[in-house]
Structure 1
C-alpha cells in the first residue's frame, strides 16, 4: 500500500511542475483594435501606412458546403451570383469584421487612386489590382465648333462629287 502512495505522490508532483513552467505571453503583444499582434523582434515599429477608403472584393470559392451564416454575409455583400462578380465595399469596422469571417471565400484588394479621388465617376474604371483610373474627358471649345460650322456652310468648299472627280484624275495620271 505504501508503494502505491509513493507512486501516486510522484504523479501529482510531476503535474504541478508542468503547470509552473508555462510561459506568460500576456505582456508581450501589441494591442490593436480587435486583435493582439506578437512581433518577431522586440523593437518592431509599424511602418507609416494610409488605409484605403474602399475595398474591391471578389468571391473566388464556390458556395457548395458553405455554412448558411457565411452565405448570408455573401448575399448581404451581393456576392452570391457568379464568382467573377466584383463589389466595392467601404473600409469600416463593421464591414471588416464580416469580411474577416468569409476571408477564405473572397479576394480583397484595397482601391487606390493614382489620378486622385474622382469627383465624377463617369470615365473611371477599376483595374484588377485595385487602381481606379480616371479617363480624361475631352472638352469641346466654342471657337473650334464655330469654325467647323462655318467650314461646312462655306460655298467655296469642295463638294463630294468634285472631290471624287479630282481624286480619279490624280489616280489616272499619277506619274505624268
Structure 2
C-alpha cells in the first residue's frame, strides 16, 4: 500500500488528514471503504498551543473541556463508600447465585 498504509492501517481507526488535492484523490479511490466526517468547532477554533484540555469525538466535534480549579478540587471531601444491610445482602446473594 505504500504511503497509504500510514493512514488506513486498521479497520475502525481514525485518521485526521489535510484537505489537499492529493488526499482527495486517495480518498476518492477508497470512498466505498471509508467514512469522511468534517471536524466542527462549536466552542471556536483553538489557537496554536491550546490543545490541552480538548476532546475530538468520533462524530467530528472538537470540544474544549474546562479545567477544574485546584481550590474547588481541594475543597471537595471524598465520600466514603459504605454498604448498608440491603446492599450487602444483594452483593452476597448475587455471589451465592453465580458461584457455579
> What is the TM-score normalised by the length of structure 2?
0.59
- Identify the residue that residue 61 of structure 2 maps to in structure 1: 131
- Identify the residue that residue 87 of structure 1 maps to in structure 2: 15
Name whichever structure is richer in strand by fraction.
Answer: 1
Distance 1:89 1:131 in 2: 15
- Identify the residue that residue 117 of structure 1 maps to in structure 2: 45
Query: Which ranges in structure 2 are unaligned for 5 or more consecutive residues?
Result: 76-100
Could you list the structure 1 runs, at least 4 aligned residues long, displaced by more than 3 angstroms after superposition: 71-74
Contact 1:112 1:130 survives alignment (8 Å): yes
Contact 1:73 1:98 survives alignment (8 Å): no
Distance 1:73 1:100 in 2: 15
Structure index of larger Rg: 1
Distance 1:96 1:76 in 2: 16
Q: How many residues align?
A: 71
Distance 2:69 2:45 in 1: 20
Q: Of the candidates 8, 11, 35, which is equivalent to residue 107 of structure 1?
A: 35
Query: Which ranges in structure 1 are unaligned for 5 or more consecutive residues?
Result: 1-70, 149-176
Q: How does 1:1-176 map to 2 (within 5 A)?
A: 71-72=1-2, 74-77=4-7, 79-81=8-10, 83-119=11-47, 120-140=50-70
Q: CA offsets, 1:16-64, max 9 Å, x none?
A: xxxxxxxxxxxxxxxxxxxxxxxxxxxxxxxxxxxxxxxxxxxxxxxxx
Distance 1:134 1:73 in 2: 32
Distance 1:138 1:117 in 2: 21
> The residue matched to 1:125 in structure 2 has which SS?
strand
Instruction: Report the aligned-residue RMSD.
Output: 2.2
> The residue matched to 2:15 in structure 1 has which SS?
strand
